[in-house]
A and B are shown apart, each in its own frame.
Chain A
Amino acid sequence: MSVIETSNLTKRFGKTLAVDDVSLKVERGHVYGILGPNGSGKTTTIGMIVGIIRPTSGTFRLFDGDTPQDLHEARRRIGGTLEQPNFYPFLTGRENLKIVAGIKGLGKREIETALAVVNMSDRAHKEFKTFSLGMKQRLALAAAMLGDPELLILDEPTNSLDPEGMVEIRELILKLAGLGKTIVLASHLLVEVERICSHVAIIKNGRLLKHGTVAEITRGDSSYSVHAGDLNSLQTAIENYPGTQHTHRHTDRIIVELKDNDPAALNRYLAQRGIYLSELSEQERSLEDAFMEVAFTGESNSRQGS
């Protein structure tokens, strides 16, 4: 069952094309990262899904429903943090949650549950202004968790936290995922998405460049690291090899990207020219490599406004 399914979602702010034709699908239990640099349209995409803005065109389904009534019902099953934690500084954490719970029509019990989930039960009696940023963010998560929603949508949950705070929040998100929540999170941090997400959509200039499981995206499918005694002649030979897409010289090896993904053929070709490889291995890519690659190739054919 899909929790979110968007098709050709587009949002224009005047002349700016903030989100351009994005189609993605989030299924139950996914921890889905929307990864993109600043201004790429993450918040806008999320905003459309939670309904604080309306798409210019395109449609989406929540929990397999797409009529206005379905969407309305579905939103009761969504919790989200869509802005910086915004609470009254002079009230305690618990009192702040009470306000939110009051709006949601929930009581004391739900507040305590939410506080327990984010490990804040023993600190919620302190005033919000005395909280560290990490605690503020956790309180925001607790507010989102009020009423036990099935889907959590988090916009840059670790933004402006220190490394320790980031780790704390990430662990918390993993814990929530462990509780069976579906989580969508926007982030511009590769490591974050790599560490906690099962799936990722890379977006840039409003366009969806690539999406899939984190494993799929990071799998190196046609890049190889090669090494031989004479690197210079190796490089010349590889550059002349018709199957070469792209080479990159490191100090001690050459990274080659092949058009047909056939390393054996390359090896044969080199051996015929008297070059014997001392190393030929598939290149492991981090999400960062994948991101940079997609982002750069994506840039040339992306449309910005009109």
Chain B
Amino acid sequence: MKAVLRLAVVCMSATPLAHGLAIAGLILVLLTLITQRIFPWWTLGVAAQPRLALGFQLVLALLSSIASLLLFCSATGMPALIHRLAMGHQVGVMPHGRLKLLTSAGLVVGGLSLLSATLAYLSFVDFPLELPPIFWSSLYLSLFAFTLSYMVIWLMGLYRTTMTTFVGVLLVILCLLVPMRLSLRGAMETQILLIPTLLMWGMIGGLIFAAPRFATIAKRPAFIADGAGSPGAGSKPIDLLLGTANPWRYALAQIPPLFLAGMLVVDTPGMLVLFVLLATLTGAAASLAAGRSRRLWLRSGASRAELYRMVESAHVRQGVWSLLVLILMFALVGGLAKFSPAKFGTGIVLLVVAMATGNWLGLFCTQGLGWREGGCAIIAMGLLMLGAYLCVAAPPHYLAAFSLDLAFLGLIAGFRYLAMKRWREIDWMRC
């Protein structure tokens, strides 16, 4: 699963440009959503100026399609990447490598379609209570459109001539416009598009699994960027290899899910749970450190214990950034919900605790997620949820929350102890 997700992320951020596009797209998604949520009356047409409302709605629709387009563009490198990976030998080494490759491609397309459908739907409807037909029809349409476009892009990459480019673009436009117009006029059920979509995926799957037979076409195996972030000026080499060189990127990446969730989760207890979840997950990014730190061995000349300290401090530094952003967002939400200072304080402490727990739990996972790590994670998560509950319950139990925080200090110290112990005898071939 981890490999699939990582592949999917690489697909969407293979180059700095793609990375930028993805981020721009996400920001735009955010922007649309904010506007939706904060000024819903503008878009509903109940304002004094119906014409203005209509115009605004159009702008929003436009913005959301640009957002989808940007995200779509960020993954234009995907067909070539998947192609090279399928042809390369690394995929053979990975267990179920081809299946993972297919799944990650599906994940990218599925995710993009889902996002577009949500955006399309939200630009028509203010409040998501149930998923109306427009959501489904734009989902089917997006699935079809994205799949088709990526296939065409793949083909154009294979045969790079002006003619193929021209024909390809024309094909995509036709295949997009015709179903869209037909479905808008109600002349066609968009569900039908599922059939060609599934057929295309069958074909893609077939190609991925049969790739070794076409190996002669393969030019050379791909080098995969691990998505660890591009080296910026002044970043430390160690951070570059650990992927902690651009903490702000991770920090900002927390914002879109928060906003997305802000649309769906209306009550504040729910929001706090979400914040805690995010804090924990961001901390848990440290679980990648074990695998990545292998590249530091032999090079850094550090012992395992020294390496642990380096990795730990790199991740703590990154965590602090993410935490700052989270706290800022929390303040925003809390301000809107008129939290009392006590609630603010308790919530912020809980976020710090959650991040630290995730961080050291992540460092403790040197060999993936076994039942031991999973058990620890579940227990820690349960306790964190309890903390969130104590904070937002109606009357809040601040004292209990405070004692829980203290208990967490012990838990974190325990995780840290275990992590250090494991890192002292880490086996990188098993990470």
What residues make up the interface of A, taking CB atoms closer than 8 Å to B? 13, 43-44, 47, 50-54, 72, 75-76, 78-80, 82-91, 95, 98-105, 128-129, 132-133, 136, 160
What's the nearest-Cβ distance from chain B to residue A62, in Å? 12
What's the nearest-Cβ distance from chain B to residue A303, in Å? 21
Is there contact, CB below 8 Å, between A133 and B221? yes
Determine the distance from Cα of A84 to Cα of B225 in the docked complex, in whole angstroms.
12
Does B91 have its Cβ within 8 Å of any Cβ on chain A?
Answer: no
Instruction: Select A87's contact among B15, B223, B303, B425, beta carbons within 8 Å.
Output: B223
Known: A51-B298, A88-B225, A90-B16. A99 touches B241 (CB 8 A): yes
Tell me which residues across on chain B come within 8 A of A80, comparing CB atoms.
298
Does B237 have its Cβ within 8 Å of any Cβ on chain A?
Answer: yes
Determine the distance from Cα of A160 to Cα of B16 in the docked complex, in whole angstroms.
28
Specify the chain B residue showing the minimal Cβ separation from A102: B237
Is there contact, CB below 8 Å, between B430 and A13? yes
Does B297 have its Cβ within 8 Å of any Cβ on chain A?
Answer: yes
Instruction: Select B427's contact among A53, A76, A136, beta carbons within 8 Å.
Output: A53
What's the nearest-Cβ distance from chain B to residue A71, in Å? 10
Specify the chain B residue showing the minimal Cβ separation from A128: B223
Determine the distance from Cα of A241 to Cα of B239 in the docked complex, in whole angstroms.
72
Is there contact, CB below 8 Å, between B237 and A103? yes
What's the nearest-Cβ distance from chain B to residue A166, in Å? 14
Instruction: Select A103's contact among B89, B294, B296, B425, beta carbons within 8 Å.
Output: B296
For window 189-221 of B, CB contacts with A under 8 Å fall at 220-221
Is there contact, CB below 8 Å, between A53 and B428? yes
Is there contact, CB below 8 Å, between A47 and B429? yes
Tell me which residues across on chain B come within 8 A of A99, comparing CB atoms.
231, 237, 240-241
Is there contact, CB below 8 Å, between B427 and A52? yes
Per-position binary interface string of chain B over residues 88-117, scored 1 when its CB falls under 8 Å from any chain A CB and 0 otherwise: 011000000000000000000000000000
Instruction: Select B220's contact among A52, A75, A76, A132, beta carbons within 8 Å.
Output: A132
Determine the distance from Cα of A89 to Cα of B15 in the docked complex, in whole angstroms.
9
A–B pairs, 12, beta carbons within 8 Å: A50-B297, A50-B298, A52-B429, A53-B428, A54-B427, A76-B301, A86-B295, A88-B230, A98-B237, A99-B237, A101-B237, A133-B220
Determine the distance from Cα of A85 to Cα of B236 in the docked complex, in whole angstroms.
20
Is there contact, CB below 8 Å, between B297 and A52? yes
Specify the chain B residue showing the minimal Cβ separation from A136: B223
Instruction: Select B298's contact among A78, A95, A128, beta carbons within 8 Å.
Output: A78
Tell me which residues across on chain A come within 8 A of B238, comparing CB atoms.
102-103
Known: A86-B295, A88-B230, A133-B221. A75 touches B301 (CB 8 A): yes
Determine the distance from Cα of A246 to Cα of B300 in the docked complex, in whole angstroms.
54
Tell me which residues across on chain A come within 8 A of B372, comparing CB atoms.
none
For window 377-431 of B, CB contacts with A under 8 Å fall at 425, 427-430
- By secondary structure, the B interface counts as loop
Does B160 have its Cβ within 8 Å of any Cβ on chain A?
Answer: no
Does B51 have its Cβ within 8 Å of any Cβ on chain A?
Answer: no
Tell me which residues across on chain A come within 8 A of B297, comparing CB atoms.
50-52
What's the nearest-Cβ distance from chain B to residue A182, in Å? 16
- By secondary structure, the A interface counts as mixed
Tell me which residues across on chain A come within 8 A of B301, comparing CB atoms.
75-76, 104-105
Given contacts A53-B429, A86-B223, A160-B221, 19 further A-B contacts (CB under 8 A): A13-B430, A52-B298, A52-B429, A53-B430, A75-B298, A78-B298, A79-B298, A85-B223, A86-B226, A88-B225, A89-B223, A90-B15, A90-B16, A99-B240, A102-B236, A102-B237, A105-B301, A132-B220, A160-B89
Specify the chain B residue showing the minimal Cβ separation from A75: B298
Tell me which residues across on chain A come within 8 A of B241, comparing CB atoms.
99, 103
Tell me which residues across on chain B come within 8 A of A128, comparing CB atoms.
223
What's the nearest-Cβ distance from chain B to residue A278, in Å? 48
What's the nearest-Cβ distance from chain B to residue A9, in Å? 14
Tell me which residues across on chain A come within 8 A of B300, comparing CB atoms.
103-104
Determine the distance from Cα of A84 to Cα of B427 in the docked complex, in whole angstroms.
18
Does B185 have its Cβ within 8 Å of any Cβ on chain A?
Answer: no
Does B299 have its Cβ within 8 Å of any Cβ on chain A?
Answer: yes
Report which residue of B90, B226, B294, B299 has the largest number of chain A beta carbons within 10 angstroms of its beta carbon: B299
Determine the distance from Cα of A53 to Cα of B303 in the docked complex, in whole angstroms.
13
For window 222-261 of B, CB contacts with A under 8 Å fall at 223, 225-226, 230-231, 236-238, 240-241
Report which residue of A79, A101, A102 has the largest number of chain B beta carbons within 10 angstroms of its beta carbon: A102
Known: A78-B298, A133-B220. A72 touches B303 (CB 8 A): yes
Specify the chain B residue showing the minimal Cβ separation from A133: B220
For window 295-324 of B, CB contacts with A under 8 Å fall at 295-301, 303
**Nearest 8 A-B pairs (CB), nearest first?**
A102-B237, A52-B428, A53-B427, A99-B237, A103-B299, A53-B429, A103-B237, A76-B301
Specify the chain A residue showing the minimal Cβ separation from B301: A76
Specify the chain A residue showing the minimal Cβ separation from B220: A133
Is there contact, CB below 8 Å, between B237 and A43? no
Tell me which residues across on chain A come within 8 A of B15, comparing CB atoms.
90
Tell me which residues across on chain A come within 8 A of B298, comparing CB atoms.
50-52, 75, 78-80, 82
Determine the distance from Cα of A52 to Cα of B429 in the docked complex, in whole angstroms.
7
What's the nearest-Cβ distance from chain A to residue B245, in Å? 10
What's the nearest-Cβ distance from chain A to residue B370, in Å? 12
Is there contact, CB below 8 Å, between A88 and B429? no
Report which residue of A43, A52, A54 has the largest number of chain B beta carbons within 10 angstroms of its beta carbon: A52
Determine the distance from Cα of A91 to Cα of B233 in the docked complex, in whole angstroms.
13
Tell me which residues across on chain A come within 8 A of B430, comparing CB atoms.
13, 53
Specify the chain A residue showing the minimal Cβ separation from B15: A90
What's the nearest-Cβ distance from chain B to residue A50, in Å? 6
Determine the distance from Cα of A75 to Cα of B89 in the docked complex, in whole angstroms.
30
Known: A90-B230, A99-B231. A129 touches B303 (CB 8 A): no
Specify the chain A residue showing the minimal Cβ separation from B89: A160
Tell me which residues across on chain A come within 8 A of B230, comparing CB atoms.
88, 90
Tell me which residues across on chain A come within 8 A of B237, comparing CB atoms.
98-103
What's the nearest-Cβ distance from chain B to residue A224, in Å? 42
Determine the distance from Cα of A10 to Cα of B272 in the docked complex, in whole angstroms.
51
